[in-house]
Amino acid sequence: MATYSYRCRVHGEFDARLPLGAAPGSRGCPVCGTQAPRSWSGVALLGRGPAVALVDRCERSRTEPEVVTSIPARPRTARRPAPSAAAHRLPRP
């Protein structure tokens, strides 16, 4: 669901929650019922995805940086198995 804004000439702006892409060009004002044209602005989506959480975390790190108390452990890498004797005879690229 998305939130769309409409502007009534008498009562000002009001919002309507509709499916994404289903907003008409005008809608009746909830107070007086006159047709109000849609205000074109960014769409406000309900719900939060991982991208929004990432943006929030980046914004929060400006004023509340995470404090590191120790050096992070070195990640363990998998050891490559020793090449077999047959691998030595293969052509190299």
> Beta strand 26-28 with 35-45: parallel, antiparallel or unpaired?
antiparallel
Q: Which residues contact 10 (CB under 8 A, 6 or more apart)?
A: 29, 31, 32, 34
User: What is the distance between the alpha carbons of residues 47 and 89, in angstroms, rounded to a whole number?
Assistant: 58
Q: Which residues contact 35 (CB under 8 A, 6 or more apart)?
A: 26, 27, 28, 29
Tell me: pLDDT of 15 over 80.
yes
Cβ neighbours of 11 (radius 10 Å)? 13
pTM strictly above 0.75: no
pLDDT given for residue 86 in this prediction: 77
For residue 15, the SS3 value is: strand
Q: Each residue of 28-86: pLDDT tens digit? A: 998 998 899 988 765 555 566 777 788 888 888 888 877 888 888 888 777 777 777 77
pLDDT given for residue 79 in this prediction: 74
